[in-house]
Amino acid sequence: MAEIPITATVQLLKRTVPSPIGRVAGGLAVVAKRTVAIAAFLVLWEVAPRIGLVDRTFLVPFSEAVKALIELAEDGQLWDNTRASLVRSLSGFLIAIGAGVPLGLLIGWYRPVSEILGPLLELFRNTAALALLPVFILLLGIGETSKIAIVVYACTWPILLNTISAVRTVDPVLIKSARSMSLPPHRLFAKVILPASLPTVFTGIRLAGASSILVLVAAEMVGAKAGLGYLVNASQQNFAIPDMYAAIIAIAVVGLIFNHLLVLLERRLTRWRPAAGS
């Protein structure tokens, strides 16, 4: 008699799984929906300079920017500058994860500490990292150190603050249930707090990933001899306008790929969650 609810659920689950054909068609519809706005934007970019809506000298058509990008790729400039930027942003990003996650877990676990430090961390987070760039340059010089340091600074706050709130917002019932099994604190931490925090921690990591590139590009525009930000700035100063747009496209692509990789990693680590939208 008690089996009735189970069979009912099984049938319900079966019914909501679409057929393979339906899935492919649905997938195509999703792809179309997601690319239509980008395609329209690129068409506008291509057409507007050509029909004289904007000055072609300052806004070259998309196809010319792509041509410049291919040329830059061929003579190796693109890779050299991208590599310089990636090394800086990835090292800053990884240092920030290495410092922010353990520190955040610690601060979040000790409630009084998080209550005392909270306002200060909030202040740091809301101080635009770039406003501090002159300070970093004064203290650390104009070389790699100051650039990596500013990336570390910009990435640390979202990771730290998200980790703290992740630990603090773990469902109290899960903690109560684990405590009722007399799980010792270190195992409670490893088996409950840590996995329960992971999704929110990852939100912070993704935010940090976006700002690592953002802040770095700006820093490279101020003082650098290589990097994508440098390439944008130098091209503009040399009036190589197609190159400038090529570098901007490269920055956008790097940012997209970086974010996409983080999303994939996040999905892998939190596979147990219900798929978004379902």
Partner 1 sequence: MAGTHTAEKIRIEAVSKTFDVRGGGTFTALDDVTLDVAPGEFLVVVGPSGCGKSTLLDLISGLTKPSSGRILLDGETVAGPALDRGIVFQQYALLPWRTAQRNVEFALEAQPRLDRLSRRSRAERAREYLDLVGLSGFQDRFPHELSGGMRQRVAIARALVAGPAVLLMDEPFAALDAQTRDGLQEELLRIWHKTGTTVVFITHGIDEAVYLGQRVAVMTSRPGRIKQVVDVRLGDRDAREDVRSSSEFAAYRHQVWSLLREEVTAVREVVSVG
* Interaction residues for partner 1, span 215-274 (CB under 8 A): 270, 272-274
Q: Could you tell me the smallest distance in angstroms from the CB atom of residue 34 to partner 1?
A: 26
Residue that has been written with the tokens 């200060």 in this structure: 120
Residue 55 found at the interface with partner 1 (CB under 8 A): no
Closest distance of CB 141 from partner 1, Å: 45
CB count in 10 Å sphere of residue 81: 24
Q: Cβ of 69: how many Cβ atoms within 10 Å? A: 20
Quickly tell me which residue has 């019932």 as its tokens: 173
Element (H, E) at 174: helix 172-180
Note whether 225 and 136 are within 8 A (CB).
no
Nearest Cα neighbor of 254 from 129, 95, 111, 85 is 85
**Nearer Cβ to partner 1 (187/225):** 187
Q: Binding of partner 1 at residue 120 (CB under 8 A)?
A: no
- Give one word for 176, left, alpha or beta, with left for phi > 0 and alpha for psi -120 to 50: alpha
Site size toward partner 1, by CB under 8 A = 29
Decide: is 16 part of the binding site for partner 1 (CB under 8 A). Answer: no
Using the minimum distance from each CB to partner 1, give the nearer residue, 54 or 190: 190
CA dihedral (266, 268, 272, 278) positive or negative: positive
180 binds partner 1 (CB under 8 A): yes
183 binds partner 1 (CB under 8 A): yes
Interacting residue with partner 1 among 23, 50, 83, 179 (CB under 8 A): 179
CB of 105 to partner 1, least distance (A): 17
Site for partner 1 in 61-100 (CB under 8 A): none
Residue at token pair 């939208």: 277
User: Closest distance between partner 1 and the C-beta of residue 264, in Å?
Assistant: 18
Shortest CA distance to 201 belongs to which of 96, 87, 89, 91? 96
Q: Does 276 bind partner 1 (CB under 8 A)?
A: no
Closest contact distance (angstroms) between CB of 199 and partner 1 is: 9
What angle is formed at CA 211 by the lines to CA 115 and CA 220, rounded to 5 degrees? 130
| One of 23, 191, 225, 260 touching partner 1 (CB under 8 A) | 191
**Other CB atoms within 10 Å distance of the CB of residue 261:** 11
Q: Is 227 helix (H, G, I), strand (E, B) or coil?
A: coil
Q: Report the residue number, 68 or 201, with the smaller CB distance to partner 1.
A: 201
Pick one of 101, 159, 178, 228: the residue that binds partner 1 (CB under 8 A): 178
Contacts with 61 (C-beta within 8 Å, 6 or more apart), sequence order: 45, 46, 47, 49, 50
Considering only residues 136-175, where is the footprint of partner 1 by CB under 8 A?
A: 171, 173-174
Question: For 246, what's the count of Cα atoms within 13 Å in the CB-facing half-sphere?
Answer: 24
Among 159, 161, 192, 246, binds partner 1 (CB under 8 A): 192
Does 6 interact with partner 1 (rule: CB under 8 A)?
yes
Query: Per rule CB under 8 A, is residue 131 in the interface with partner 1?
Result: no
Give the interface with partner 1 as residue ranges (CB under 8 A): 1-6, 9, 13, 171, 173-174, 176-183, 187, 191-192, 195-196, 198, 270, 272-274
